[in-house]
Amino acid sequence: MLIAIFSYFFLSAFDEDSFIKLTRDYAQSQPIERQQLLNEHAKNMEADLQTYVDISQEAAKTVKNTRLTREEIKALLITYNDKRESTVQNIIDTRYKIKDALSREEWEEAYN
Amino acid sequence: MFIKKVLFPFSLVLLLIFIGACSQADHSKSEQESFAELKTYIKQVDDVQRRKEMLTLVSSMENNISLFNHELNAFTETSSKLFLDYDTDREVLDKEHKEWVQTRLEVQENLIDITFDFKEISTKEEWTQIVKLQDKIYENNSKSTKDN
């Protein structure tokens, strides 16, 4: 029950999978140096996403069969939310790095 | 050329919206059915006062999950639009995100409170059954939000 509050509620706030796929697709049509840069960003984003999933699983494992009090559980929730939040900030950073690397036309071609 | 460049992508978007709407309606239905199951179980509780308190908790749970779904949809839609707009400043997106995180935390804390309130007024047997039925609700909700 508490596991649900710690894990299910985080499943879909971001659709990074599509963004990563579009980045890789666009990179393929680019010169090698740019291709490497975009693929590197996509790779970092994938790694951050994996960390996000790992933190959620760790949170679920921690509260499973726990005998913590209401307040202790809430404190734990804030700890795990903060951990996840720092990963989300990394993901947003990477998104903006990609945006900064592309002109408006290129951006629209890649993602719109 | 017109078909390939305009009509096909447009039809595809319409199709995806349609599939999304059907799937959302289906999951909302399962979520409602799970809530109905929980209410039916609680209505069998003999003690009038406890039964009343439990039904109030279910109603509060429904309100929180409904708020969560509504805010999640709004955030997903707004943030996607903002991010895809080349001219959106990072601060604007961060502000939206911060508000969403705050709402999510409030919902989570409310649901933790509801869980503990349930535990305090239930017998061991009731509690086991209630947890099982609540998990079903969360599972349906997670499917629904994931499909969005």
Q: What is the pLDDT of residue A75?
A: 93
Q: Who contacts B125 (Cβ-Cβ below 8 Å, separation ≥6)? A: none
Give the residue with greater pLDDT, B4 vs B138.
B138
Partner-chain contact B109 A74, CB within 8 Å:
yes
- Helix, strand, coil % (nearest 5) of chain A? 85, 0, 15
Partner-chain contact B115 A1, CB within 8 Å:
yes
Residue-range domain boundaries for chain B: 27-147
Q: Who contacts A92 (Cβ-Cβ below 8 Å, separation ≥6)? A: B90, B93, B94, B97
| ipTM computed for the complex | 0.83
pTM for the model: 0.79
Angstrom distance (rounded) from CA B69 to CA B72: 5
CA distance B146 to chain A (A): 5
Partner-chain contact B145 A77, CB within 8 Å:
no
Q: What is the pLDDT of residues B71-130, one digit of tens each?
A: 888 888 888 888 888 898 889 988 988 998 899 899 999 999 999 999 999 999 998 899
A108 in contact with chain B, both atoms CB, cutoff 8 A: yes
3-class secondary structure, A13: coil
Partner-chain contact B93 A111, CB within 8 Å:
no
Angstrom distance (rounded) from CA B112 to CA A70: 7
What kind and span of H or E run contains A31? none
What part of A 74-103 touches B (C-beta under 8 Å)? Answer: 74, 77-78, 81, 85, 88, 92, 95-96, 99
Torsion of CA A56, A62, A68, A70, to 10 degrees: 0
CA distances from A31 to A28, A38, A43, B16, B127 (A): 8, 11, 18, 33, 61
Q: What is the pLDDT of residues A15-65, one digit of tens each?
A: 778 889 999 999 999 999 999 999 999 999 999 989 988 988 888 888 876
Q: Would you say residue B11 has pLDDT above 60?
A: no
